[in-house]
Structures are given as structure tokens and as C-alpha cells.
Structure 1
Amino acid sequence: MKYELSSKNLLIASPDNTPATKDKELIPLSSILYPSYSIDSNNWVKLVELPSLYSCDEALLLCQISEDEWSAWIPDHGEAVLNSKQFCY
């Protein structure tokens, strides 16, 4: 694949061996710079800050409590309520 940036903030993807105007796919640049992720229960996430010195640095999301809060299980610590700012995925 060959990639080039257009003047309208679109990434143009085309196969290597095709003419420049044939078989192009336009990809909005914002979807590449800011991909959307969905958080689901039963997924492991990386903790930004450890709840204790001996706990694991990952947590298993159990269920969503509110828009920004999740019930999670942290190995070597137990169950905890995490704010979405306390983990990354």
C-alpha cells in the first residue's frame, strides 16, 4: 500500500502497482489520529496508578457502574471501583 496526505485532511491509500487515480481509498485523518475505543466488561485494562504497593498493574473490568465508573477486580488487591481516568486500554 502507498499512503499520501491530501489537502483536505484525508489519507489516501492505494495499492503499490496501480495508477494514481485508480482504486484509491480515502480515510479521514481524524480516525487515524483519534481512534475510537469502546470499553467493555470482561476486558483487562492497564492501571495508571496502583491501588497498593503489591497489587498488579492490570485490572479486569467487571461491570460499568456509571458513565465514568467501573467495578473491577485487581489481582493481589481485590475488587475496586475505578474511575475511567484511573486506567488506559
Structure 2
Amino acid sequence: MALNIKPLSDRVLIEPAAAETKTASGIFIPDTAKEKPQKGTVVAVGNGSKDHDMTVKVGDTVLYGKYAGTELKLEGTDYLIMREDDILAII
């Protein structure tokens, strides 16, 4: 899939993982009670800045803070755009 978006500076575009729809014991979780995912896949990466080289690359699975990033919808898919500093770990 080719997205027509290029993050600037040290920003990263992430496609969040799907929220859990069922608990381990088999109980279905309604939409109003679902937790916001904190894991996703990097879709696009900026060039970095003069003081900051980018660590993550396209295709990395990352963990980020619960309230990190700005939500946006492109071509019918939900994404998050955030600074690389908001990413906690690469899985």
C-alpha cells in the first residue's frame, strides 16, 4: 500500500494494532469498553533533524504511550502521527 504522506522531521506515522474484541476467558468486549491499543506498525518515517537521527524504520512494530500522537484517517484507515520520542520500544 502506497500512502501519499511523508512525515516531517522526527515524526512517525503508525498504524495502530486492532483493539482486543474478546477476553482470554471468551467474553466479548463492547466497543464502549475497549482499551485504546498501545502497539502498532510504523508505516512512514520522517528524515530526522540535525540533532536527531531516526531509530525506527518502516515495518517496525512499536509500543507507544496511551495518549501519544495525533489521530488521523487516511484512505479509510486510522493512523497516529507522533514524534519518535513518544515511542517507548521496538518489539
TM-score, normalised by the number of residues in structure 2: 0.25
TM-score (norm 1): 0.25
1 or 2, which has the higher strand percentage?
1
Give the structure with higher Rg (CA): 1
